[in-house]
Amino acid sequence: MNSVRSTSWENELKSCIRGKSLVFLLADSNLPDSYSKDIVKVCKIKNKTHLLKIKGGEQIKTHQHLIQIYNELDVVGADRKSVFMCLGGGTISDLGGLAASTYKRGIDFIILPTTVIGMVDAAIGGKNGINLESNVGILKNQIGTFYQPKLIGINFKWLDSLPKDEVKSGWGEMLKHALLIGGPHLEKFKNAEPNLASLIPLIIDSGNIKEGIVRRDVKENGERALLNLGHTIGHAIESLELDSSNASEIKHGIAVAWGIVFTLEVSVRKLGFNDALAKQLIKWIVDIIGYREHLWESKEVWLKMCKDKKNTNGNVKDVMLRSPGDADWHFTWEREEFTILWEQFRERYELTSC
């Protein structure tokens, strides 16, 4: 893992593209034009630069979009000495990372994240992926590679265009890192509001927590699984919402925050997490994310959990907490127990059940 993560994005970018044959910039069309224009200006001094804009979002993580990118790369004449650059959030870099890692068996890759989630999570650690349409609906990130970006260029000004619900979604991933590390960082994070002004000073630290874990276990053979805290449930909820066109779409970090609330409840029962502390944390989290109109039935959630990439030998794996800063990634779910605990949880936090 030799990624550079830096707020001196302009200088680092210039150094990364020096001597390269061509720069291909995949940018989210939701962003202000000035963002990509500025970057193209920086790159054009030294290199032929091509810009492809697509509208970011979970719906682009498909083979069709991947093939579209391959064809664009071919049309502009990208070769092995070309650089693939992503400007946008996690869905842009998930799709772009897979394209960069498989085009001609891999070309240089740079991420310029424009979301909180991108800066603290998605851009770090080299995971990319697209979703698979299966017989049980859409499975998240089933197809992908581990591929490290050469550079993660951070410019906090790019966050100015971020919608408020995306900021809150970023807060959900930062919450995960804060619970994984505990200590003073968690205290600082608890005092922060879920808005940009409060979160920006914590972004680099939050990213460092992830980077530390990933560096010790790049291919997720052990410790890296910690980063799935809240994600077994989070991904299941996200997948269910994606499958159902009637449901209101849920943001990734909010789904993860719900996963964390459930995890805290279960951790009290199963790993002796301090009950009073769990209640206090849950109240704080739910005050921020709000009760939910609809949480899914246990059997629907279970079906999705069974398809989780982390599972091995048919066991549904999850991450639990003994205390903040002390997590266990070896937890295995029994269906019966999950069903009981989930239905209790649902009754508490689903508005229609309340």
> Are the beta carbons of 178 and 203 closer than 8 angstroms?
no
Comparison of 36 and 128: residue with beta carbon closer to a copy of itself: 128
CB of 88 to a copy of itself, least distance (A): 21
Contact footprint for a copy of itself (CB under 8 A): 21, 63, 67, 70-71, 74-75, 77, 79-81, 98, 101-106, 127, 129, 132, 134-135, 139, 141-146, 219-220, 307, 309-314
Cβ partners under 8 Å of residue 256, min gap 6: 172, 173, 175, 176, 230, 231, 234
For residue 14, the minimal CB distance to a copy of itself (Å) is: 18
**Contact at 8 Å (CB) between 76 and 52?**
no
Three-state DSSP class for residue 113: strand
Please name the helix (run of DSSP H) or strand (run of DSSP E) that holds residue 318, with its range, or none: strand 316-323
Cβ atoms 171, 116 nearer than 8 A: yes
Q: Rounded to an integer, what distance in angstroms lies between the CA atom of residue 44 and that of residue 23?
A: 9
Given the complex with a copy of itself, which of 76 and 204 has the nearer CB atom?
76
Residue whose structure tokens are 């994240």? 113
| Residue (103 or 189) nearer to a copy of itself, CB | 103
Of the candidates 354, 310, 344, the one whose C-alpha atom is nearest the C-alpha of residue 330 is 310
Cβ 149 to a copy of itself shortest distance, Å = 16
CB of 225 to a copy of itself, least distance (A): 11
- Closer Cβ to a copy of itself, 245 or 312, answer by number: 312
Cα(52)–Cα(264) distance, integer angstroms:
42
- Min dist CB 74 to a copy of itself, Å, is 5
Measured distance CA(85)–CA(35) in Å, rounded: 13
Instruction: Quote the tokens at residue 172.
Output: 């959900």
- Token output for 289: 């994310």
Which C-beta is closer to a copy of itself: that of 69 or that of 321? 69
Residue number, 147 or 156, with CB nearest to a copy of itself: 147
| 53 within 8 A of 28, measured Cβ to Cβ | yes
In the complex, minimum distance from the CB of residue 306 to a copy of itself, in angstroms, rounded to a whole number:
8
The partner residues of 332 in beta bridges, in order of sequence, read 317
Pick between residue 69 and residue 202 the one whose CB is nearest to a copy of itself. Answer: 69
- Kindly state the smallest distance separating residue 99's Cβ from a copy of itself, in Å: 9
| Cα end-to-end distance, the chain, whole Å | 47
- The smaller minimum CB distance to a copy of itself, of residues 196 and 218, is found at 218
- Minimum distance between the CB of residue 189 and a copy of itself, rounded to whole angstroms? 29
| 82-to-96, 109, 332 alpha-carbon distances in Å | 14, 9, 44
